[in-house]
């Protein structure tokens, strides 16, 4: 890369740093927690808000949260073994 390439505007650099900070905060090295939670919320929305199955929504939410946690720790344990 050329050393005299024009520097990025300060606002752009600040926005990138801001985005990177929040990306790291919510996703970071555990994308499965972020994606698993989003997927779970979509399923619960479909059950409770769209399908009006409010009690099923509650059960799905509890089981799903434990499932996401189990998935994430299993992934980390597998990575350690490998």
Partner 1 sequence: MTAHTSDIVLVLAVFLACAVEMVEALTIVVAVGSTRGWRPAMQGVGLALGALTVLVAVFGPALTKVPIDVLRFVVGSVLLIFGLQWLRKAVLRSSGFKAKHDEDAIFAETVAELGALDRSTSGDRQAMVMSFKGVFLEGLEVVIAVLTLGASSHRLPLAAATAAVALVLVAVVGAIVARQLSMVPENAMKMSVGLMLVSYGTFWTGEGLKVHWPGADLMLVGLVAIYGLGVLALVQVLKGQHRNLVEVGS
Q: Which residues of this chain interact with partner 1, rule CB under 8 A?
A: 26, 28, 30, 33-34, 37, 41, 44-45, 48-49, 54-55, 57-58, 61-62, 65-66, 68-70, 72-73, 76-77, 80-81
Distance of CA 27 to the CA centre of its chain: 5
Q: Smaller CB distance to partner 1: residue 4 or 45?
A: 45
End-to-end CA, the chain? 37
- Round to whole Å and give the CA distance between 64 and 30: 16
**Nearest-angstrom CA–CA distance, 72 and 37:** 11
- What minimum distance in Å lies between the beta carbon of 46 and partner 1? 10
In the complex, minimum distance from the CB of residue 37 to partner 1, in angstroms, rounded to a whole number: 5
């Amino acid at each position: 890369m050329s050393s005299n390439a024009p520097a990025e505007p300060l606002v752009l650099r600040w926005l990138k740093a801001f985005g990177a900070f929040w990306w790291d905060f919510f996703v970071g090295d555990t994308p499965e927690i972020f994606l698993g939670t989003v997927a779970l919320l979509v399923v619960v929305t479909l059950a409770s808000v769209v399908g009006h199955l409010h009690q099923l929504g509650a059960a799905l939410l509890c089981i799903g949260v434990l499932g996401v946690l189990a998935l994430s720790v299993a992934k980390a344990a597998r990575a350690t073994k490998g």
